[in-house]
Structure 1
Amino acid sequence: MNEDGSDTPRPSGEVPEFRRIRSEPLPPQRESPPRRRTPDGREPAWLPSAAARRRRAALLLSGFLSMLVLLASGTAWSVTGWLSGQLQRYDVFAGLLEGDRPAAGPHGALNFLVIGSDDRSGVAPEQRSELGVGHVEGRRSDTIMLVHLDHDRDHITVVGIPRDSWVHIPGHGPHKINAAYSLGGPGLVVQTVESATGVRVDHYVEVDFTGFVEVVDALGGITVCLPEAIHDDKAHLFLEAGTHRVDGVQALAFARTRKSAHGDLDRIDRQQQVLAALLERALDSRTLSDPARFTRFLETMLGSVTVDESLDTAALNQLGAQLRSIGLDDVTFTQVPVDRIDFWTPTGEVAVTWHDQHAVELFEAIAGDRPIPSGAPPAEADFPAPEEVTVEVYNGTGIPGLGARLRSELLESGFRVPATAGNWTRQDLAETLVRYSPDRQDAAHLLLESIPNSRPEEDATLGGRVQVVAGAGHTGVAVPASAASPAHQQPVDVGGRDTVHTRTAADNVCR
């Protein structure tokens, strides 16, 4: 899988064109739309083309949530009619059969599907390189978020859906979820998400984030936090660990890079962090109290938003009235609990699979308008490094070469195995044994976490030694990312994301 998701198969048929109807009333107290032109009529050299600005699909939800929250303020209340007219609209739900859709949720609750396209058509090669967005053709949903507004309108829940999730796309079979857009447009994206989650989608919002860089810069930049350094040549991002004030270009790269241990899962975390930072800046009194700054912010943001036809002026007015008291503490972020991030598909791609039980629990809570279940924040286990663990290996089965294979896997993972594998006293073991003396529990813990379906056996006579006896069910060795050395990290750990963990927008803001 490459940086831009190019492993997603291209549809063989022609991708349908989606008709979007847009009206363009003028903003309040302005005689004409602003024009960013030089005296001779040309766009300034520093301004990317309109096509390039339309392709900055990084933070899909920021504009939408900012729009709702700003509508709830007294400053924004007078411009809802103009705001509604600026939005592009598309009949997303046409053709969806009522009998094939999930049941509607409790009265008053609303679910928004927010996506963005990674379409790069019309962007010059040098512009693609400058923005670090790659050169993959076609259209896919670069990021997918399910946004739930509870019936009391006092809380918003944002669920990030990994774009590489392996799901069933109606009419097309198993695919990565981000292929639904290219295969059938917004309607098929809605149908796919509803089928995978069991949650009925009430409204659709698509954001290509025209002028995202300008929005961040207009707000004076945002603050982001990094637990570890990121150096990504392709995204043009070079940040050390710590807190950074970033401009629009850096914020775009920060939201898109995959150069971290858990790829798309970390990417969702970063996008939610940037969203929280944008919300904080957008809610800043200096933005709300300055009409010119507020209008520029909305103009830049709204030109890149497409919504379903039912999200009209009346609906926006109603939402604005209902969300007047929403603040950063009332916006909760989470993402779908995952089981594997290294699932090899039948077509030879690497995809993400969801955790059956915990994902179902999450989406059932969303569909039922109930508080989502949440576990404790994931913590890194205190493991020794594999290089600090010396192991004796034995074959406890009649399978020729199984002990040698296990020894090779342990060596490749960084463990010290000085002797060749021997034969155990029994040859009928079904499960792999991890045998250890009482003073080597830390080493045994690491081995048990690294060898699936293994079981512990404490033996006080071992005198500081650790033994691994291969059983017939042995499948391999995968060291947890928190313990693996850089040379032996295994891309199988999901970083504690197999259960639901939540953070508010206030928690995500760097202080």
Structure 2
Amino acid sequence: MSGRWDGRPEPGRRPPTDRTAMMPEAGSRQGPYSRPRQNQYSRQRQGPPTPPYGSPLPAREREPIRRPPPRRKKPRWGRRIGVFLLVILLAVGGLVFWIDSRLTREEALADYPGRPAETAGTNWLIVGSDSREGLDEDQQSDLATGQAAGRRTDTIMLLHIPDNDVAPTLLSLPRDSFVPIEGYDANRINAAFAFGGPQLLARTVETATGLRIDHYAEVGFSGFAGIVESVGGVEMCIDEPMQDPLAGLDLQAGCQELDGAQALGYVRTRASALGDLDRVERQREFLSALMQKATSPGVLFNPFRSIPLALDTAELAIVGEDDHIWHLGGLAFAMRSFVNGEGVTTTVPFGGFGQERGMSVVYWDEAKSQELFSALAEDRPVPAELIVTE
């Protein structure tokens, strides 16, 4: 076996090495078989690794972070106004429903066999009664109401509000009108109220006119005077002096503001040439002026006027079972047209006066009155020749 090594390791022997190459350099601590040590500490001594997006600036060269100043919130006036209006709306709505709950309701418009079918437009039966309910002796003396008991009708009106652009019509039915009354002999129309209250009166009016009544409103002496006081009085222009001790009336000629007691005497007195016919004309004029005052901005937007007016109306008026305070509001606005001359005010065409069982009565002109009622039932303008002017 030769003494030279051929490069192939023999079993159990280590290959020869170049001791010179394997010797560490001077000053080195590495052993002959050591590798240069690389670890995390050595890497840190060599410097931090380069970040992927470039090296950061030195701390002294780095600009300070400038944060934007806080944004000042602008006042949201739209939202505030919306909340305010919502609160007002809820308050007004609650007040309206509370007042509506205080209305005195009565079953005035009951069904019966042969009742007229629904006609065009809206028909109100407006009744002024001589009821003294709620008045003490001093108040009855101040209002000159007398001492009669019960309820009778001093005023009977029919208000027709068309569904189209035809002018509304305020029609007076004289209380002495001689008409048939269901279950009784023919009598003056106000006797129906005395016999059977609002139900029989409404039925008598529907039977005599052929018009179906949609709404009912009744005001007594105290209610009428209270409503006039609530609006602060009503101005009326009187052509000549009026005196009537029975009605407590003493007025001079000229334009003047009537308080509750004066207004009640003004619409009640019959001290004139035509008696009841003159009275119904005054009643229409005063009612229109009252409604114009009640719906004026000075009353509607003045809570010291509008709220007492609504409360007095609710407590002192009587309406049908299905009527509400907003229906009365619609009635008031419809009445404004008569003051402006846009509506038609008239009395049922009459044919003369007479006596029936010792009573003074008014007879209707059958042909003209039926023509008038037909025009209202069909929402047609009232022919000029049918308009009665006293």
- Name the SS for the 2:384 alignment partner: coil
1:130 aligns with 2:142: yes
Aligned 8 A contact 2:132 2:220 in 1: no
**For residues 265-287 of structure 1, what are the alpha-carbon distances to aligned partners after superposition, in whole Å with 9 as ceiling and x for unaligned?**
11111111211221222222221
1:362 aligns with 2:372: yes
Taking the TM superposition and a 5 Å limit, the aligned residue runs for 1:82-231 are 82-94=98-110, 96-97=111-112, 99-106=113-120, 109-120=121-132, 123=135, 127-152=139-164, 155-208=167-220, 210-231=222-243
Give the Å deviation of 1:189: 0.8
Residue type of the partner of 1:132? A
Give the Å deviation of 1:324: 12
Compute the TM-score of the two structures, normalised by the length of structure 2. 0.68
Residue type of the partner of 1:276? S
**Bigger mean CA offset, 197-206 vs 260-269:** 197-206
Q: Matched residues in 2 for 1:165 and 1:344: separation?
A: 11
Q: How many residues align?
A: 300
Aligned 8 A contact 1:89 1:307 in 2: yes
**For residues 353-394 of structure 1, what are the alpha-carbon distances to aligned partners after superposition, in whole Å with 9 as ceiling and x for unaligned?**
11222211211111122111223xxxxxxxxxxxxxxxxxxx
Residue type of the partner of 1:336? V
Q: Matched residues in 2 for 1:317 and 1:160: separation?
A: 19
Question: For the structure 1 residues 244 and 200, does the alpha-carbon distance in structure 2 shift closer, same or farther, using more than 3 Å as the test?
Answer: same
| Alignment RMSD (CA, Å) | 3.2
Higher helix proportion (structure 1 or 2): 2
Question: For the structure 1 residues 318 and 500, does the alpha-carbon distance in structure 2 shift closer, same or farther, using more than 3 Å as the test?
Answer: closer
1:306 aligns with 2:318: yes
Residue type of the partner of 2:117? A
**Bigger mean CA offset, 183-192 vs 238-247:** 238-247
**Structure 1 unaligned residues grouped into runs of 5+:** 1-28, 30-74, 376-498, 504-511
- Name the SS for the 1:100 alignment partner: coil
Pair member with larger Rg: 2
**Bigger mean CA offset, 207-216 vs 238-247:** 207-216
**For residues 130-158 of structure 1, what are the alpha-carbon distances to aligned partners after superposition, in whole Å with 9 as ceiling and x for unaligned?**
32223333322221111111113774321
Residue type of the partner of 1:146? L
Question: For the structure 1 residues 340 and 135, does the alpha-carbon distance in structure 2 shift closer, same or farther, using more than 3 Å as the test?
Answer: farther
Give the Å deviation of 1:351: 1.1
Give the Å deviation of 1:167: 0.8
Aligned 8 A contact 1:92 1:308 in 2: yes
- Name the SS for the 2:381 alignment partner: coil
Give the Å deviation of 1:243: 2.4
Question: For the structure 1 residues 209 and 152, does the alpha-carbon distance in structure 2 shift closer, same or farther, using more than 3 Å as the test?
Answer: farther
Taking the TM superposition and a 5 Å limit, the aligned residue runs for 1:4-153 are 79-94=95-110, 96-97=111-112, 99-106=113-120, 109-120=121-132, 123=135, 127-152=139-164
Question: For the structure 1 residues 122 and 221, does the alpha-carbon distance in structure 2 shift closer, same or farther, using more than 3 Å as the test?
Answer: closer
Q: Matched residues in 2 for 1:260 and 1:194: separation?
A: 30
- Residue number in structure 2 paired with 1:372: 382
Give the Å deviation of 1:79: 4.8
Question: For the structure 1 residues 124 and 296, does the alpha-carbon distance in structure 2 shift closer, same or farther, using more than 3 Å as the test?
Answer: closer
**For residues 307-358 of structure 1, what are the alpha-carbon distances to aligned partners after superposition, in whole Å with 9 as ceiling and x for unaligned?**
2222247x749959x97996843443221122223x110x111111112222
Aligned 8 A contact 2:338 2:345 in 1: no
- Residue number in structure 1 paired with 2:261: 249
Aligned 8 A contact 2:100 2:314 in 1: no
Residue type of the partner of 2:347? Q
Give the Å deviation of 1:127: 4.2
- Name the SS for the 1:259 alignment partner: coil
- Residue number in structure 1 paired with 2:387: 500
Q: Matched residues in 1 for 2:190 and 2:335: separation?
A: 34
**For residues 40-62 of structure 1, what are the alpha-carbon distances to aligned partners after superposition, in whole Å with 9 as ceiling and x for unaligned?**
xxxxxxxxxxxxxxxxxxxxxxx
Q: Matched residues in 1 for 2:188 and 2:375: separation?
A: 24
- Name the SS for the 1:300 alignment partner: helix
Aligned 8 A contact 2:217 2:318 in 1: yes
Q: Matched residues in 2 for 1:283 and 1:308: separation?
A: 22
Compute the TM-score of the two structures, normalised by the length of structure 1. 0.53
**Structure 2 unaligned residues grouped into runs of 5+:** 1-86
Q: Matched residues in 1 for 2:318 and 2:165: separation?
A: 23
Aligned 8 A contact 1:164 1:177 in 2: yes
Aligned 8 A contact 1:210 1:300 in 2: no
